[in-house]
Amino acid sequence: MSNKKVYFLSDVHLGSCAFNNDKEREQKLVRWLASIQDNASDIYLLGDIFDFWYEYKYVIPKGFVRLLGKLAELSDKGVKLHFFIGNHDIWVRDYFEKELGMNVYLYDTVQEINGKRFYLAHGHRTGYRPWIVKLMHYVFHAGWVRRLYNCIHPTINYWFGLKWSKNNRLYKHKQEEAEYLGEDKEFLVQFAKTYCKTHPDIDYFIFGHRHVMLDLMLSKTARVVYLGDWISHFSYAVFDDDGLRLEMYEEKE
């Protein structure tokens, strides 16, 4: 693996109307990317990087030029970029692939990275979900729904999407702060435990979505990692010759 590292990050939620420090968080993310650009071989963005992303054939959301520009620079330098859709940035087309050279993943995937097996997913469609959530995800992912939604003018589309996201975010923050619920109640941990029984070769399960930082041993060889978020934790995971670590980005004053 030499001195190159692989990085994992999720849940930045850029563009969210629920936060008033959007530009500051984007700038901090760009500074973090600049700090790792010389030693990164791969960067995995595991969903909800954007709070709402709906991509028409000729239209993409306004903003994010600092981040998109930095990602393009990294791609041009040979850093491999990987983008997993989350429940907020589902509706991608080919912009990330054509303009940024990203590999885009619509589903959970298992990859071998430098001799280790990784199960990678945002997590919103992984493991047990209530039927109403499954129905909502089916509707959001259905091609016929997208074709209907394409008929809506972007101004209305983005207003509705951001409004929905804001109301959902403020409701969740009002009702429950993101916190670790314990092994028995964490659906992603339970999924990983069950999956290990039939796939004992998995070394790491890495998920976003929960906005919680977690590094839990499932067995002598398997671990599950929740990546936290880029709202309050500014956290990420890094994999190198020393293994996998969950870290927080702290800037020197």
Give me the residue spans of the domains in the chain.
5-248
The pTM for the full model equals 0.91
**What pLDDT shows up at residue 175?**
43
Q: Which two tokens stand for residue 110?
A: 């298992």
Contact 176, 23 (CB under 8 A): no
Beta-carbon contacts of residue 112 (< 8 Å; ≥ 6 apart): 118
Contact 104, 97 (CB under 8 A): yes
Looking at domain 5-248, its CATH class is alpha beta
Q: Block means of pLDDT (10 residues each) for the chain, length 253 residues? A: 87 86 93 97 96 89 94 97 92 93 96 96 87 78 80 83 70 61 92 95 96 94 96 96 95 75
